[in-house]
Amino acid sequence: MITIKDLHKSYIMGQNSLHVLKGIEFTINDGELVSIMGSSGSGKSTLLNILGLLDSYDEGTFHLNGLTMENLSESKAAYYRNKYFGFVFQSFNLISFKNAQENIALPLYYQGVSRKKRNQIALEYLTKVGLRDWAHHLPSEMSGGQKQRVAIARALVTDPSVILADEPTGALDSQTSLEVMELLTQINNEGKTVIIVTHEQEVSALTNRIIRLRDGLILEDGPTEKVLANV
Ligand code: ADP
Ligand code: MG
């Protein structure tokens, strides 16, 4: 469970400070499929990066499974990040000179899993995302949708409880976007919390709850049909 209260974040640039998150509050329970929707610049990525312990916040509280995430050391943050979160990005962030199976196996390498074991687990996840026959292909040999499936498999391979996806369909056509959203929905149905950042209503419409951001504040937070009725 993720609980944040009165969360603030500013970026300092020289003499200037940009107040990006201006008091954000919500609770996301285990097993939810939720989108954080808002136009470009509304603070979505900043918020997701804070939730995933990739960035710090200035004010407010943040609890993950009842534990405070305040003032974590780098190593503590890395520990919780690796334990609880899997990340998916718009630009896939695959390693170009590693094949699909190696990309998926990489997080297991950092956990000290043996080569044989990690290749076996990576193949299981490749199969899960429907790409078993693509194990030895490089990212450059795959379509955008296939690359995002590899990235999703990589996010899942350490069995995190929460998947954080920042504009996961942002680089995909609408049919492929739908397929990627179906995969994320399936992962949610299997028990994982899935949090998706998007500026697209069509993507938000496929989640169960929408947290709508505008200029660093929550405009609305509720069941999808209810929020979309007011957009
Ligand atoms: P979104 O993901 O909704 O498009 P972001 O969270 O990326 O929004 O950005 C919110 C605001 O913060 C934007 O005005 C952006 O330019 C600014 N911003 C984002 N990251 C940084 C940074 N590292 N340094 C300074 N300003 C930033
Ligand atoms: Mg963004």
Please list the rounded mean pLDDT of every run of 10 residues in the chain (231 residues).
98 95 98 98 98 97 97 95 96 98 96 96 97 98 98 97 98 96 98 98 98 97 96 88
Hey, whose CA ends up nearest to atom 12 of ligand 1? Answer: 20
Question: What is the 231 CA–ligand 2 centroid distance (Å)?
Answer: 20
Closest residue by CA, ligand 1 atom 19: 46
Report the alpha-carbon angle 192-198-200, nearest 5. Answer: 125
Does any ligand 1 atom lie closer than 6 A to the CB of residue 212?
A: no
211-197-178 Cα angle (round to 5): 110
Atom of ligand 1 nearest to the CA of 167: 2
Ligand 1 pocket check for 11: Cβ under 6 Å: yes
Instruction: Sketch out the chain's domains with CATH numbers.
Output: 2-229 (3.40.50.300)
Determine the pLDDT at residue 153.
Answer: 98
Q: Is 216 in the pocket of ligand 1 (CB under 6 A)?
A: no
Residue in 43, 40, 41, 38 with CA at minimum distance from that of residue 8 = 43
pLDDT digit string, tens, across residues 78-101: 999 999 999 999 999 999 999 999
Contact residues for 33 (Cβ-Cβ < 8 A; gap 6+): 184, 185, 188, 193, 194, 196, 207, 208, 209
Atom of ligand 1 nearest to the CA of 46: 6
Per-residue pLDDT, 114: 97
| DSSP string covering 110-129 | HTT--HHHHHHHHHHHHHHT
Q: Supply the residue whose CA is at minimum distance from atom 27 of ligand 1.
A: 11
Calculate what percentage of the chain has a pLDDT beyond 90.
100
**34 neighbors 51 (Cβ within 8 angstroms):** no
- Give me the pLDDT at residue 211, please: 98
Q: Residue 5 forms beta bridges with which residues? A: 61
Q: Which atom of ligand 1 is nearest to the CA of 49?
A: 6
Query: For ligand 1, is residue 12 a contact (CB within 6 Å)?
Result: no
